[in-house]
Structure 1
Amino acid sequence: MTMSSPAAGAIMALARTPAAAARYDLTPRATVVCSALVLAAVTGLDLLDDRLGIAFSVGFVLVVVSAATAVQDRGLFTTGVMPPVLLVAALLIVAATAPEAIVIEGLPETAGVFGLTLSATIAHGVPLLIGHAGAIAVIVWRILTVRR
């Protein structure tokens, strides 16, 4: 079997590419943008049933941990700071656009966007803790295993 097509040439080029060249290739800005877009997509999918639920929480954890694994070394600080900001921003947008999707027992309906965002942030404290701890663990692992 001979490989003469352009696709075969691309496969051979990828086979010769060193693994280190494919690691940590997102800039800090690209990491933040990609993380926000993916979390927006996950949030949109989770809101199909008109309620923010477990898919949002799991998606958030996966997004922030994945961001820490994909960013360049100079963006490690950004990914360490990003999880709480990303969560609060996502919940603020949901509270402003679809407040009925955030269901918190005992919260008065007159809470407003800020009160709803604050309450939702507190309610999503466990996913925030897991995601942030996971991102920090990846960052520490990357710092400890850097080749000097």
Structure 2
Amino acid sequence: MSSPAAGAVMALARTPAVASRYDLTPRATVACSALTLAAVTGLDLVDGRLGVAFAVGFVLVVLTAATAVQERGLFTVGVMPPVLLVGSLLLLAWQVPEAIVVEGLPADTGLFGRTLTATIAHGVPLLIGHALALAVIVARIVSVRR
């Protein structure tokens, strides 16, 4: 006699197509990603400056978006990471410019300069997050063709 846990595992193994209908639409994925990154940013700003939590949260958000979107939204999440990062840093530079602390950045730097500097400072998380998201997208495309 099989255990209930084994039956549940077998049921999950037989339903990959059924489970995929619960993937998010491209629009919902972008909205959830933006809201999640906003929440992570808010939590990171408790100390008054952008830090490592924002970078790690960004990587996790774009990676999760690539795994959660429907097949038709793979292009959307493929181009989303840079737009999401620059957009969030632009809003942050506009609303809370003192939170962007980069060594050598003059205090009177304008909106565009502060956004550009913050984007460059967060280049490594952008590269890592985008590369991981693209790797997930490629893996999903390859697995669909089988």
Partner of 2:67: 69
Deviation of 1:22 (Å): 2.4
Distance 1:118 1:141 in 2: 32
* Distance (whole Å) between structure 1 residues aligned to residue 25 and residue 45 of structure 2: 30
2: distance between equivalents of 1:22 and 1:42? 28
Question: 1:49 and 1:19 mapped to 2: Cα distance?
Answer: 43
Aligned-pair Cα RMSD in Å: 1.7
Describe the SS at the equivalent of 2:144: coil
Give the TM-score taking structure 1 as reference length: 0.86
Question: How many residue pairs align between the two structures?
Answer: 135
Deviation digits for residues 68-122 of structure 1, max 9, x if unmatched? 0000000000000000000001101111111111101111122111100000000
Q: Which amino acid aligns with 2:111?
A: V
Runs of 4+ in 1 over 4 A off after TM superposition: none
Counterpart AA for 1:51: R
Q: Which letter does structure 1 place at the counterpart of 2:112?
A: F
Q: In the alignment, is residue 18 of structure 1 matched against residue 15 of structure 2?
A: yes
Unaligned runs of 5+ in 2: 1-7
Paired position in structure 2 for 1:27: 25
- The reply to whether residue 38 of structure 1 matches residue 43 of structure 2 is no
- Partner AA of 1:108 in structure 2: P
TM normalised by structure 2 equals: 0.87
The amino acid that maps onto 2:80 is M
